[in-house]
Amino acid sequence: MKKHNFGAGPCILPQEVFKQAADAVIDFNGLSILEVSHRHKDYEAVMDEARNLVKQALNVPDDYEVLYLQGGATLGFTIAALNMMRDTKRAGYMNTGTWASGAIKEAKKAGIDVNVFASSEDKNFNYIPKDYTIPTDVDYIHFTSNNTIFGTQFKEFPKTDLPLVCDMSSDIFSQEINVADFDLIYAGAQKNLGPAGATLYIVKKSVLGKSTSTFMPSYMDLKIHAEKDSMFNTPPVFSVYVAMLNLRHLLANGGVKAMAARNKAKGDLLYNEIDSNPLFVGTTAVEDRSLMNVNFVLKDEAHKEAFDAAWKAAGIVGLNGHRSVGGYRASMYNALELESVQVLVDVMRDLANKHA
């Protein structure tokens, strides 16, 4: 029976990518991809392609570096703060959810005086703040483009002349972006890019080597990674290889523009059902609804048992909401088919027909 994976991440990737990845575990030019030296020319070609495909997919300008590191967005919080720290050692952060809060916490630990100039914590992060003043007396501005746990997404990015930094872990490659608006973008791979274990950095070259931090381990210095073509130390070989496969698949299928249209269609289908179905209600502000993570709850918990049994019987997995919100979360990353969303919608309608 076909599984419909609505999990929040690590998440679904194209079936073709899984097949190609499995093949390479057995045979990559005569060896397993798991036993190939990262210094072998065949693997250097993989790393080069994995970096170049990011540039193609997002139209990354020439004055940016694309790097693959390890440690997830969690280590990225610290790397961002250390690399962006300048004379004021202050930064402006927007607090729009659990991951944004984590970024703030780690920036403070890294020695940044954080100015949280906008927050949606007052309503359990169910909206994106809009009425705020961006500080000007800081080194950089940081935000989180999509909030995986609470299901909100920036439709317009903050506008500032200051260096702009974004954690795009959960919506990168889901839509077109203008990389030139940012000094630093970072993203854990395990949503729209590849398997867990790699973290993408897109950094403006002029940022490198300008930190005022007295603490800068080599691994956290993006300048060192850039100088070594993202091979400063052994990279997460397999994760980068699968990211490369997935980016090939993305570009062969219309790139992020086509993906954005597909994600819009999936979002429309599910949000329309949530809004028209008498049994369900969405949990986030309508104008800030994420196309990646759709949060909703039953109006009456009495239907929980029947609904849970029905979606599980339909082959749906990963639909339970995060403990911070409860209810349900349908994560609909790039690789999730419209057909899978239709399966979920059919289950919801069927429940309404029986119980409403």
Which positions touch its own copies (CB under 8 A)?
3, 5, 7-13, 18-19, 21-23, 25-26, 30-32, 34-38, 40, 69-75, 77-78, 105-106, 109-111, 188, 190, 195-198, 215-220, 232-239, 242, 317-318
Q: Are 169 and 99 in contact (CB under 8 A)?
A: yes
Please identify, using beta-carbon distances, which residue of 101 and 160 lies nearer to its own copies: 101
Orientation angle between helical segments 255-276 and 41-58, nearest 10 degrees: 60
Alpha carbon 296 to chain centroid, angstroms: 20
Nearer to its own copies, 263 or 277 (CB): 263
Tell me how far, at minimum, the Cβ of 300 lies from its own copies, in Å.
Answer: 27
Report the residue number, 61 or 217, with the smaller CB distance to its own copies.
217
Distance CA 138, CA 262 (A): 38
Find the shortest distance in angstroms from Cβ 197 to its own copies.
4
What residues have CB less than 8 Å from 61, skipping those under 6 apart? 179, 180
- C-beta of 128 vs 237, nearer to its own copies: 237
Rounded to the nearest 10 degrees, what angle do helices 237-252 and 41-58 cross at? 40
Whole-angstrom Cα distance, residue 151 to residue 172?
15
Cα-Cα-Cα-Cα dihedral of 128, 93, 143, 87, to 10°? 160
Nearer CB in complex with its own copies: 9/97 = 9
Q: Are strands 146-147 and 152-153 parallel, antiparallel or unpaired?
A: antiparallel
Which residue is catalytic, options 139, 167, 183, 288?
167
| Catalytic status, residue 264 | no
Query: What strand order describes the sheet that includes 113-119?
Result: 64-69, 199-204, 184-188, 164-167, 140-144, 90-95, 113-119
- Catalytic residue, from 183, 191, 266, 288: name it: 191
191 is a catalytic site residue: yes
Does 311 participate in catalysis according to the annotation?
no
Q: Does residue 275 contact residue 261 with C-beta atoms inside 8 Å?
A: no
Annotated catalytic residue, options 99, 183, 266, 288: 99
Tell the smallest beta-carbon distance from residue 131 to its own copies (Å).
31
Q: Active-site positions?
A: 99, 167, 191
